[in-house]
Amino acid sequence: MQCLLTRICLAVTLGCMTSMNMLGLMASEPEVTTSVVVDDGKAAEFKWIGPEWTSIKDRPGSSDALVASGQNRWLLSRSGIGAGDFHVRVQLQLAKLDGTAAAFDFGSSRFGLDGKAGLLFVEGPLFRNQPAATLKIADLVQPDVPFLLEMIRKDEQTRFLINGQTVYTLDGWKGSVGRVGLRPWRNEMAVFDFSIKGNLYELPAPPEPLFQSGFAGGTEGYHTFRIPSLTTTRSGTLLALCEGRKNSTGDSGNIDLVMKRSTDGGQTWSPPVVLWDDGENTCGNPCLVVDQTTGELLLLATWNRGDDHESEIIAETSRDGRRVYVLRSKDDGLTWSQPVEITKDVKQPDWTWYATGPGGGIQIQQGSHAGRLVIPCDHIEARTKKYYSHVIYSDDHGQTWKLGGSTPAAGVNECEVVELTGGKLLLNMRNASSSRKRQTSVGEDGGLTWSELKPDAALIEPVCQAAILRARWPDGKESGWILFSNPASTTSRTNLTVRGSRDDGQTWPVSKVLHAGPSAYSDLALLSDGKIGCLFEAGEANYAESIVFVTFGLNELTK
């Protein structure tokens, strides 16, 4: 009777020695609790992402189940699992084994089925230096046949079991697990029972705006939305741009440039508008700048064939190269010109890979180069096959574009630029080295040359894009503000954080965490009411779930 009650209770302290021995948990650990996520096909302590999972009763040949199919859908536990021993138990069924990536998610890592290779797979930070999973799926599970998936940690050894057979072992992991969940991913998944037992704790709800505005994967005809760009026009309209990836999360293939507009500070958004669709080809890396003199919008972007991949372009085995284009709007983003190619003006012949931004450019406001439009970019040299950051610029309101200076050293790529006092520029760059700190360089001639690279110890990164913004100029009474946003972690794309500097980026004493969970690329914009907008990639199971928009005031940044 006690075991039955334990099964149906959502959270009870285990006092049953038999139950604890079954789980391999120590009787001296009173903090061990149990939570049932799904019970006999009925949702209990659950949280889902994406379209609602369907409760199906009397499935032929099986019990009631919660069912979902496709991508960008997760069934998650409401509680998190802390440090110590634990036991996760899931009874489920998959409609097929081929072409799937169905998985069990925990934190930013996952254990699942690679339908293309026909093998189990492990991925994420926990498995970075661990061996691959090598067992064949067909030897373990069958289509439309229920099976038991378990994850058990005892004494810092974690075992993954299918129908009682240990199929993978991870040693030495003792930290918090966090939220756990399931995803069907190109499959139909039926979940009959799903329970977790261990040192459970209550998880906070995500920020209110999360998944309510912006771009949600699996909607509007797109598999995934990535690579955000955010701009406030001269009249105060907000423009949110990104890549709409038709068929996958990957950086190649059929990718369009899409946009939403907001005329009320981001409270509501227009339906998405496609700015550039070139069939099966890749149109991406949006980098938008506003000419404050004319009010015109200049959108810099890149193109390549959809069947060419970055590695092939770098190796010079691709069918075509990476090209650079500009699109223009004179009416606050309501209409746009056709893309105009400027590759020959801004790309050297011995450069292979090339990327604009992504994010935003600037218009210099002070000094001898005031009025110049500057777009941050990066490239790879054919000879060295190394990444460099550089800028391109226009002194005639975007009519023509010229190549500015490149960094004097390699090992940096995606970057953004901000103006310092006196007309100097600061280039802030993604660092490909192992130091996990952002690299910086200063330009004193409008971006024609750059100083030696210097790491910023305060701006840690997991190797990812970031955004930087001049939010306020010093006015004699108050100091200026420069803001920086990125996933502030050295190990994973999580913890999207905004930092503030009042001394031109010398120090970053204040900050605000916008999303502690999976998060990656971001962009910042100053809104017409003085608040700051941040458009960033975020999710609960992974950062590619959606692109969301939040606002905050400078007074919300704290030490």
The string of pLDDT tens digits covering residues 187-227 is 899 999 999 999 999 876 544 433 345 788 777 888 899 99
Quote the percentage of the chain above a pLDDT of 90. Answer: 68
Q: Which has the higher per-residue pLDDT, 124 or 349?
A: 349
* Amino acid at residue number 390: H
pLDDT tens per residue across span 258-316: 999 999 999 888 889 999 999 999 999 999 999 999 999 999 999 999 999 999 999 99
> Distance between CA 141 and CA 165 in Å, rounded?
11
Q: What is the mean predicted confidence (pLDDT) over 227-256?
A: 95
Q: Which two tokens stand for residue 333?
A: 């983003």
Going by C-beta distance under 8 Å and a sequence separation of 6 or more, which residues neighbour residue 309?
251, 252, 318
Most confident among 39-43, 380-384, 511-515 (mean pLDDT): 380-384
Fold observed for domain 209-556: Neuraminidase (2.120.10)
pLDDT of residue 139: 94
Query: Quick one: tokens of 25?
Result: 């948990």
Are 214 and 546 in contact by the 8 Å Cβ rule? The answer is yes
Structure tokens at 501: 């500097």
- Contact indicator for 182, 103 with CB cutoff of 8 Å: yes
Over residues 420-435, the mean pLDDT reads 91
* Residue 268 buriedness (CB in 10 A; 0-12 / 13-18 / 19+): exposed
- pLDDT in the model for residue 210: 39
What pLDDT sits at residue 168?
96
Has residue 4 got a pLDDT over 90?
no
Rg of the Cα atoms in the chain: 25
Mean pLDDT of 61-87: 84
For residues 479-506, average pLDDT:
95
Q: Is 515 left (phi over 0), alpha (psi -120 to 50) or beta?
A: beta
Q: How far apart are CA 410 and CA 406, in angstroms?
A: 9
For range 536-543, the mean pLDDT: 84
Which range among 122-126, 168-172, 210-214, 431-435 has the greatest average pLDDT?
168-172
> How many angstroms separate the CA atoms of 504 and 555, rounded?
18
Q: Which one, of 176, 178, 179, lies nearest residue 76 by Cα?
A: 179
C-alpha distances in Å from residue 417, one per residue of 439, 440, 444: 12, 10, 13
What average pLDDT does the segment 435-444 reach? 95
Q: What share of the chain is helix, strand, coil (3-state, %, to 5)?
A: 5, 50, 45
Residue 519 has what pLDDT?
93
pLDDT of 335 above 90: yes
Which of 86-95, 115-124, 485-494 is the least confident region? Answer: 115-124
> Residue 19: its pLDDT value, please?
34
pTM score, two decimals?
Answer: 0.70
* In the block, residue with structure tokens 């039926």: 190
User: What local confidence, expressed as pLDDT, does residue 72 receive?
Assistant: 62
Q: Which range is least confidently modeled, 117-131, 329-343, 390-404? A: 117-131
CATH 2.30.40.10 is held by the domain 33-202:
no
Question: Average model confidence (pLDDT) for the chain?
Answer: 88
The residue extents of the domains of the chain are 33-202, 209-556
Residue 29 predicted with pLDDT over 50:
no
pLDDT at 73: 77
Which whole number is the average pLDDT over 101-108?
83
Rounded-to-integer distance, Cα 414 and Cα 328, Å: 23
Fold: same for 33-202 and 209-556 = no
